[in-house]
Amino acid sequence: LPVYYDIENTDKSGVPAGVDDNNKYRQITGGPAAFAAMAQAYCDAIKAQGYTPGVYTSTSWWETNLSSPVFNQW
């Protein structure tokens, strides 16, 4: 079965956010390029382990934040 990267979280103000390496909740900056890099790193790691990667998100997130062509491969 595929392993999906679920990316669609926002903070209380509606700005993209997530938990960092120090377990701190923070806003994610960098726009679509940052999300493309995050997804690429995750999906590459999943694929290297022999699984099929995918990306799960809402339609509004897909259209707003995941506009990089890198997402076309998942």
Sign of CA dihedral 28, 32, 59, 47: negative
The model's pLDDT over 28-73, given as tens digits with 9 standing for 90+, comes to: 888 889 999 999 999 999 999 999 999 999 998 888 889 899 988 9
The model's pLDDT over 12-29, given as tens digits with 9 standing for 90+, comes to: 888 888 888 898 888 888
SS3 4: strand
Q: Which of 16, 73, 17 is nearest to 43 (CA)?
A: 73
> What local confidence, expressed as pLDDT, does residue 10 receive?
82
